[in-house]
Each structure stands twice: as C-alpha cells, then as structure tokens.
Chains A and B, each alone.
Chain A
Amino acid sequence: MNLALRLASIALLLVLWFAGSQFAGPRLLPGPQAVGLAILAEARSGALAFNLGITLLRVAVSFSIAMALGSVIGLVMGRVQLADRIGDPWLVLLLNLPALVIIVLAYIWAGLTETAALAAVVLNKLPLATVTVREGVRALDRNLDEMAAVFRMSPWKRLRHVVLPQLAPYLSAAARSGLSLVWKIVLIVELLGRPNGVGFEIGVAFQLFDVTRILAYALAFVAVMLGIETFLMQPFERYVSRWRPRTA
C-alpha cells in the first residue's frame, strides 16, 4: 500500500513533467525521455560516474570533517560554560555569514584549490552541527550522569553508553539536514572554482544553455543521495533507536 502510493506519486510527477515539457518546449524543459537518454549517454561515456564520484567524495570528506568537528565543539560548548560564552558569538557569526561569502573568501585567500573548496563547505556546515549537538548536550539527563559517576564508569564507557545514546537523535538530525546542505554547497563550490564534478558540469551546461544536461546531472545526483538516505541513514537510525518500545 505504502509502496503503491509512493510509485503513484512519482508517476504523477512524471506526467506533470511531461505535460510541462509539451507546454514549454524541449529547449526550456526537455521531457523525461530526453533527460533519461542524456543520463544514459553520459553514463556510457564514463563522464557521469567520474563526476558523480568526485562530487560524492567531496561531500563525504567535508561532511565527515564537519560532523566530527561540530560534534566535539558542540560537546565542549554544552558542557563547559566558559567555552560556550567564548564560542557563541563566533557561532552566530558563522551561522549568519552567507555560504557564498565563505566560498568566495576561501578561494581568494587559499587559491582555487581542493583544500579551499573543502574548507568552505566544512565552515558552512560546522555551525549547524555544533548548535544541534550543543542543544543535545544541554538536554542530557543528569540523573544518569550521577549514576555513572557513583558506579565509577570510565570516561570512555560514559561517552559510549551514557552520553552518545542520548545524543543519537540530535546527531542524526544534524546528519540528515547536514547531508542535504553539504551536497548543495559542494555543487556551488564546484561551479565557482573546480575543474570537475557535478557542479562544474552544470556550470558548463548553463553556459551552453543545455537544460537537458543540467537536469540529467541533477537527477542522477539526487538519486545517489536518495540511495544514501534509504540504505545508510534510515537503517542507522533504526539501529540506534531499537530500544524504544514500539506500539504493537
């Protein structure tokens, strides 16, 4: 039933797309079939796999760095009041700095390099991860903390069995929103200063007014992210929340 509804919804989208392409003309909005053929052609030449792969690698690296750093900083800021007082203005600054400004400055200061590109993405994602984890740390149960203290649990044991399970919902919220944010920013970074990747290809297609190619790359990448969400994120979430009593 669920699956049927999902498929019906996707079919409806395709029908609307097809109708739109008939109305707007193939130059402005190519139909599903033309885009599908373009995806196949790019896949055959190997360009699709190469560009998807390199973009995915950038997403993976910057996402991992941002999540790891953000979690550690969030943990410290949530626990140590002094760190929170000092770090908070920086956080507000970073949160409100437009992504584009960070990217342009990174390229100006560090050159059109991979490091600059990744650093710009990390700086964009970092404050969001930090804020989310900090809220999670503030909501930690003091009673459990005291229990762990009286039973003399080691710091590692406390982190793994007492703190992290409580932070799991916050971490997965940060990861979910982070992943979608990171891949969008990676595309802009590629458009502005990288010689390859999905963002670069879309930039070239934009200059050539090649809407088919823009859609082909965008949809292919969305499909990849959908796969990651379904086969990595959701099973992980189910695993960490396995202890929650379910309604029968």
Chain B
Amino acid sequence: MSRVGDPERLEVHIKRKAYRSAAGGRLEVLGEFSIAVANGEVGALVGPSGCGKTTLLRIIVGLDSDFEGTVQLPAHGRLGIVFQEPRLLPWRSVEENVRLAAPQASDASLNALFATLGLAEHRRHYPGELSLGLARRVALARAFAVEPELLVLDEPFVSLDAELAARLRAELAELVARGPVTTLLVSHNVDEVIGLADRVFLLSGNPARVLADVPIQNPRSTRTADEVALIRNELSRKAAAVSS
C-alpha cells in the first residue's frame, strides 16, 4: 500500500470545475472529486459519455488550469498522453512524430516499441497514409517513447472494430506491464477496462463524482474469463447500489 502524500503517486482533488455556458449560466462538470492512483498502478475512470472525464484529464495534464483544487503528479511529472484522436503531425513521418515528442529515446528502445506495436514497416510513412487503427498505434508509441511517469489515455480505442481494439488492448497491457507505469485510462466501456485496470473508479453523470473506488486484486496476466465476469458483476452491482 502506498502512503498518503507519497510523491510517487497521482493524487487529484477537485472542489469544483464549471464552464460558463453560451446562454450565460454555469454548467458544473466536476464537484468534490478525489482520486489517487499508486505508483505503477493502472487506474480506470468509467462513466457515462459526456460526464466530464475528458475535462478531468485535461486538468491533470495541465491543459486546463481554470478549476478549484489540487493535482499532484508522480515525481518529475513526465507525461505521455493518448488523446481520443491520434493528433499526429501530418507533415512528419511516423518516426519523426515519435522522436519529436521523445527526443531522448534510444534507437534500441524505439525499435522495440515499433516492433511491439507492429509499426516497423510504417516508420517512414506519413500519417495521411495510415488507417485510423495504425494512427492510434503511433499515438500509443509516441506516449510510451517518452517513458512517462504518468500515462494518460483518453478512450484510446474508441471507433475501432472490436477485434482490433482487443488486440491493441493486449499490446497496451504488455507495454504497461513492462514499464511499469502509473496509468490513467478513461473509458465508457466497462469491458474495455476490466482486462487492464488495477483499480476502477465508477463515475456518476454531471457533475461527475466518484461513485465507487474498486480495487482489483488479481494481477492482469492471471485473470481468467470467470474472474473477469465476476469483476464485471461486482462493478455493475456497485454502480446500481450507489445510484439507487
């Protein structure tokens, strides 16, 4: 167990985060919101679409500073992020895209990373020549090449077909295990996170609050299909219990 105030872990406490709506009123997105993810742990935020998950991620990575509360990043706070869209530079090749974000990455580590993600033969391609699935892998490669202390993934597999998403999930699990790296994964899909997460935060709708903080004890690699089904049941039971 990590101590409270451990400098290695991610701690987020948000009192309030609101947007001014176009009509003039205030739209509260996050209220009394606290989560903590220990060093090397994969935390997953699961909640309905539009409940403020992306806003929370933007606050954590420092793109939005207009909120009341505190964010403590792990140690040096080196960040790797995978946005919902790949967000690659279209005028730079796959390899250049990765190297620009991670100038310190060694050739050997990049070779290994490209091999794991099946990108070896696409290094010199431009993003416009890639399928969405490949572009998402490049975005993953870019985030891992940084060797981040905190990896943030915002629905990284949305709009991919189930088979490809499953394969990418497996690749992601392998990379996270190799790290190990503190990870925050956002999803509205419970199935997506069960195979990956060590801890699941169930979120309510607007304004988003943490309904349940569910640690998953078994390590990822040893989870059987039965256990996964068990975890899924437990999660849905908790969600139902809190919202009723």
Chain A residues engaging chain B, CB cutoff 8 angstroms: 143-144, 146-147, 149-153, 157, 161-162, 165, 240, 243-245
Interface string of B72-114 (1 = CB under 8 A from A): 0000000111010101011110001000111000000000000
Q: Which residues of A contact B102 (CB under 8 A)?
A: 151
| Chain A neighbourhood of B215, CB < 8 A | none
CB of B129 closer than 8 Å to a CB of A: yes
Is A150's CB under 8 angstroms from B81's CB?
yes
Chain A residues, Cβ within 8 Å of B81: 147, 150-151
Q: In the complex, are the beta carbons of A243 and B63 less than 8 A apart?
A: no
In the assembly, what is the distance between CA of A244 and CA of B101, in Å? 22
Residue B146 interfacial (CB < 8 Å): yes
Identity of the chain B residue whose Cβ is nearest the Cβ of A241 in the assembled complex: B91
Give complex CA distance A153, B92 in Å.
Answer: 15
A243, B87: Cβ atoms closer than 8 Å: no
Query: A151–B83 contact, CB under 8 A?
Result: no
Query: Which residues from A are CB-within-8-Å of B101?
Result: 147, 151, 153
**B129 nearest in chain A by CB position:** A245
The distance in angstroms between the C-alpha atoms of A151 and B63, with both chains bound, is 11
Q: Which 8 A-B pairs have the closest CB atoms?
A: A151-B101, A165-B91, A243-B91, A245-B128, A243-B126, A147-B87, A150-B81, A150-B61
Most buried by B among A143, A151, A157, A240: A151
Q: Is B24 an interface residue (CB 8 A)?
A: no
Indicate if B25 sits at the interface (CB-CB under 8 A).
no
Of the residues B63, B90, B100, B142, contact of A157 by C-beta under 8 Å: B100
Do A161 and B89 touch (CB < 8 A)?
yes
Instruction: Please classify how large the interface on chain B is, using the bins under 10, 10 to 19, 20 to 34, 35 or more.
Output: 20 to 34
B56 to chain A, nearest CB (A): 15
Q: Cβ of A152: which chain B residues have Cβ within 8 Å of it?
A: 79
A153 and B100 form a contact (CB under 8 A): yes
A–B Cβ pairs within 8 angstroms, 15 of them: A143-B87, A144-B87, A146-B83, A150-B63, A151-B79, A151-B80, A151-B81, A151-B142, A157-B100, A161-B89, A161-B96, A161-B100, A162-B89, A240-B91, A245-B126
For residue B193, give the distance in angstroms from its CB to the closest CB of chain A.
22
What 9 additional pairs, Cβ within 8 angstroms, besides A146-B87, A147-B81, A147-B87?
A: A144-B87, A146-B63, A150-B61, A150-B63, A150-B81, A151-B80, A151-B81, A165-B89, A243-B126
User: Least Cβ distance of B97 to chain A in Å?
Assistant: 9
Q: How far is the CA of A82 from the CA of B146 in the complex (A)?
A: 36
Q: Give A240's nearest chain B residue, CB to CB.
A: B91
Q: Which of A149, A240, A245 contacts B63 (CB 8 A)?
A: A149
How far, in angstroms, from A157 to B102 measured CA to CA in the complex? 12
A165 cross-chain contacts in B, Cβ below 8 A? 89, 91-92
Residues 116-156 of B, flagged 1 when their CB comes within 8 A of A and 0 if not, give: 00000000001011000000000000100010000000000
B85 touches A151 (CB 8 A): no
Instruction: Decide if B62 is an interface residue (CB 8 Å cutoff).
Output: yes
A172 to chain B, nearest CB (A): 14
Which residues of chain B have C-beta atoms less than 8 A from A243's C-beta?
Answer: 90-92, 126, 128
Smallest Cβ-Cβ distance to B101: which chain A residue: A151
For residue A153, which residues in chain B have a CB less than 8 angstroms away from its CB? 100-101
Return the chain A residue nearest B87 by Cβ. Answer: A147
Whole-angstrom CA separation of A146 from B84 in the bound complex: 13
How many whole Å from B75's CB to the nearest CB in chain A?
15
A244 x B89 contact (CB < 8 A): no
Q: Which residues of A contact B128 (CB under 8 A)?
A: 243-245
B90 in contact with A143 (CB, 8 Å):
no
Provide the bound-state CA to CA distance between A162 and B146, in Å: 18
- In the assembled complex, the CB of B172 is this many whole angstroms from the nearest CB of chain A, namely 18
